[in-house]
Structure 1
């Protein structure tokens, strides 16, 4: 006998309330990094639609997840919005994604909750690869949230973890050449201070949607001691209860930091 939808919905709602209370009573991760994967498959398999429809819903989901994290007082959020490899996709699809990113940046810059919570909006990645419209939106969002430090949203656009490390090494090499840094003084802290996310602590939790179990060149330096969590849910279908489950799993683990 099939369980009526209303019954299952009520059961999920009650479970969500219970889980919400449970995770708030334990140590909350201060930095979650999201690999937002599965937009195109969601469009194809769930909507029977073109990829752009999945990207549109994925963009809306980012806004929703940001506000969930703020409500849970997770102070730093980093999202893998667009990798350097994604430029190899169909140009029309890339152009549409860039338009969505532009809109997201303007919307975040004007978001009342962003300003109430004092969320600093940052873009990390190879900015030379971004079109002018995205750069203008980036400058707008960063200028509107300049000086905020209570919360941080890092949007990784045209980002690659190896390139992030390469850029840090180049900066350090220049400092050594100019006599500003002694080679013998270079350590992990030095390198970390030149990474694109140096203003925030390394991620406590890396969360990837869509069922893929890999990190795809994301925050390679920063995730050295991060906890990893993978869910089969596609990004547009990611729910608050899925976030709570990920946090609960994180809280149940004993972090060893390599010890």
Structure 2
């Protein structure tokens, strides 16, 4: 009923003030150091709203940037990870994969040119995963944004693409074994600590993960 007679600008102002007040309350308690988001549900969202799949993916990026990322930064969370593209996603239709690659390139370059949020919060951006599987043009965009933010040290944003947790664990075990062989310790027993030291997020300087959120709300 309120929206029938309250001007939109006043509704937006009230919403912004409410959000600010809520953030102050949340910031008063223990703040997690690392929060991760599984960016799924974009296709379901598009179908539910009679939109093209690419529109769903594009709006998912906007939600990440304007809502999750900014709110987390204002709360003082040190590190944010977004699982945005699985290695398994390459099995989707060529058209959808090409759309996702084009969107990734576009948004990475956009961060380079209009990265106000990264600059405001001094965020270093890492792209984590099997980046060699990405088209060369996307790899070039990855290198550009990583180089641009390399010396930002207040917060970290990890974009995990193309990524799978099983692949990361297998890669970490292989790296731990290789390290033991290189230092000449063939009898070394690989421990959880060794594997953890070679995880992609650890190598990127990220603290241990505290909270994992699926944006679609789906439970698996």
How high is the TM-score relative to the length of structure 2?
A: 0.86
Specify the alignment match of 1:77 in structure 2.
80
Distance in 1 (alpha carbons) for counterparts of 2:117 and 2:160: 21
Deviates more, 1:60-69 or 1:92-101: 60-69
Distance in 1 (alpha carbons) for counterparts of 2:87 and 2:69: 23
Given the alignment of the two structures, is residue 149 of structure 1 paired with residue 159 of structure 2, yes or no?
A: no
Count matched residues: 210
Given the alignment of the two structures, is residue 5 of structure 1 paired with residue 8 of structure 2, yes or no?
A: no
C-alpha distance after superposition, 1:135-175 (max 9, x if no partner): 00000001001122211010000100010011111112222
Residue pair 1:59, 1:100 contacting (<8 A) in 2 also: no
Specify the alignment match of 2:201 in structure 1.
197
Residue pair 1:31, 1:76 contacting (<8 A) in 2 also: yes
- Say which of 125, 128, 131 aligns to 2:135: 131
Instruction: Say which structure is richer in helix.
Output: 2
Structure 2 gaps of 5+ residues are none
Distance in 2 (alpha carbons) for counterparts of 1:7 and 1:29: 40
Distance in 2 (alpha carbons) for counterparts of 1:123 and 1:17: 30
TM superposition outliers: structure 1 runs of 4+ over 6 Å:
none
Given the alignment of the two structures, is residue 38 of structure 1 paired with residue 41 of structure 2, yes or no?
A: yes
RMSD of aligned Cα (Å)? 2.2
Deviates more, 1:49-58 or 1:135-144: 49-58
Specify the alignment match of 1:68 in structure 2.
71
**How far did residue 6 of structure 1 move?**
5.0
Structure 1 gaps of 5+ residues are 215-259
Specify the alignment match of 1:105 in structure 2.
108
